[in-house]
Structure 1
Amino acid sequence: MFPFRITSRIWGKLAACELPTSLRSFVYGTYIKMFNVNLNEAEYTDLKYYKSLSEFFTRPLKEGARYISPSHCVSPCDGVVLNCGPADTDKIEQVKGVTYSLEEFLGENKWNKRKDDNYYSSLLTNKDNVLHQCIIYLAPGDYHRFHSPCDWTATFRRHFSGKLLSVNPWLARLIPGLFTINERAVYVGEWKHGFFSMTAVGATNVGSIEIYNDPELRTNTKGKRNRINEVDLRVDLKKGELFGQFNMGSTIILLFEAPKDFKFDMASGDKVLVGQALSAAAKEQAR
């Protein structure tokens, strides 16, 4: 097996090295051309401002660069939708025709006192609701920070050390359960309709996942790959609030409870931006 985790750690150290000022325009300019980066929306457009590749990758946006919809739930990041829709069984789609296990992805339900023989049902606070999912892939040229998609309270975090395979869409079509294999930080809590989870999935060269309200999280560290670390939290998050950042492109997965008539206003392959309303119904409710 190719040592993805080791190469990701090496890449992370290289990306954090300070570049000579004389090289910054060339290095970042080359990256901009390769990955079609829109520098005009960045808070700092002078390439010499960014001391390292990591600083450039995680660049903040200028104020007003993203409109946060008044809808109840919005896109947490810029990226391409891999899949979205109802997740109404224990096996749900990562891309069309390729599935992953809900229980393997989230892990044992330790965050609530509801008991049910069925894992799926144990997540729901209202049995008339169903789970919905939205998987968004952040490409290397995208804005690398991600935000809270709604007003919610995170009460539990589970970190799976996992592997660091690429999460490029073409690989997601080839490897069933890719998101249950890779390193990931799962945040679980509740929003207005009940259960809510937001997961940051690591990938090759993206071993570093930083969560602003969780300084104890350490990703891509040495040790066995089957380690699981759990922490009880009590973090109230507001829609649009900064949540965390990736060192390069990766994936955000939302799994949440909502009424059966919740409909996404997007489809697989669509480009989305931070703050964009997730559903047509949400748009109507916000009016």
Structure 2
Amino acid sequence: MNRPFFRLLTELSSRKWISRITGAFAQSGVSRLFIRRFAKLYGIPLKDAEKHVSEYRSLNEFFTRRLKPGLRPIHEHPDSLVSPVDALITGMGRIESGQLLRVKGQDYSVDELLNMSPRTVNYKHGYFFVLYLSPTDYHRIHAPASGAVLEKEHVPGKVYPVNDFGLTQMRRVLSRNERLITYIGHAFGEIAVVKVGAMNVSSIRYASANLPDRLERGGDLAYFEFGSTVVLLTESGIFTPREDLKLGSKVKMGEELGRLHEK
């Protein structure tokens, strides 16, 4: 494979106007004709959708669909940190002196990921998960823990792909792409939910126009329009991960990632 050539193509296709065109089509009524084909191509189980496939007015409306009640139970332990999404774990580990290490062969600093926020000091020795959503996955994002919304920030950026090619062949994609960051104040400390935009994602949207002051674990937070990634960060010293989780593990929204606790 000619990697420099593919990198060049990716650079050219990362322009926002291309994503806007793709997004405009996905939101059009014409796109509803492609829903069944799209679902078959990606193996999306139509029976899990909240509504019948014929009720979705566009491909985008289907893609951001809700699921039938009860399909994603929330882990019962009150101190569980749960996965905010259905995803593949493509990065995880301790944050070492403000560095997220070995994410597809690249290191990222908390400073750049959080856009030099003053809050970065809270995460210098925390824990991180990189959660990749493929087109097959359910694309709504939920609160990983209960707590107050401390702050939110929109960071403009590129729309490089966040799949395996993008993360390995492009430079520092997670901190160069558009991001929507939500800080949640749990009883034991802070959590940062970083929603990372991607190629053909026309936008990342909060689930409601006015984000509530408090979120309940498993409650609606946001959604992606097409596949992307969530980076989940916990404050230093407040989290112990499940021992059986590893790179390449698949997780469902509401599944326990580990336990939150006092420092």
In the alignment, structure 1 segments of 5+ residues that lack a partner are 112-118, 216-232
**1:185 Cα shift?**
0.7
1:182-212, Cα deviation, whole Å (9 max, x unpaired): 0001112321221210011100111311102
The answer to whether 1:165 aligns with 2:160 is: yes
Q: TM-score scaled to structure 1, two decimals? A: 0.79
The answer to whether 1:270 aligns with 2:254 is: no
Counterpart Cα distance in 1 of 2:71 and 2:184 = 29
The answer to whether 1:2 aligns with 2:1 is: no
1:12 counterpart residue number: 23
Alpha carbons 1:94, 1:135 under 8 Å: kept = no
Q: Which amino acid in 2 is paired with 1:61?
A: L
Q: TM-score scaled to structure 2, two decimals? A: 0.86
**1:97 Cα shift?**
3.1
Counterpart Cα distance in 1 of 2:39 and 2:140 = 17
**1:100 Cα shift?**
1.1
1:239-286, Cα deviation, whole Å (9 max, x unpaired): 00011111111011111125377123411111110100002x56xx9x
Q: For this pair of structures, how many residues does the alignment match?
A: 247
Counterpart Cα distance in 2 of 1:240 and 1:261 = 18
2:97 counterpart residue number: 89
Counterpart Cα distance in 2 of 1:57 and 1:136 = 18
1:149-160 matched pairs, under 5 angstroms:
149-160=144-155
Alpha carbons 1:99, 1:176 under 8 Å: kept = no
1:115-158, Cα deviation, whole Å (9 max, x unpaired): xxxx6xx316xxxx931111111101111111001112221112
Alpha carbons 2:131, 2:229 under 8 Å: kept = yes
Q: Which amino acid in 2 is paired with 1:123?
A: N
Q: Which amino acid in 2 is paired with 1:189?
A: I
1:102 counterpart residue number: 110
Residue identity over aligned pairs, in percent, reads 30
In the alignment, structure 2 segments of 5+ residues that lack a partner are 1-10
2:235 is paired with a residue of what secondary structure? strand
- How large is the RMSD of aligned CA atoms in angstroms? 2.3
Bigger-Rg structure (1/2):
1
Shift of the 277–261 alpha-carbon distance from structure 1 to 2, 3 Å rule, reads: closer
2:222 counterpart residue number: 244
2:182 is paired with a residue of what secondary structure? strand
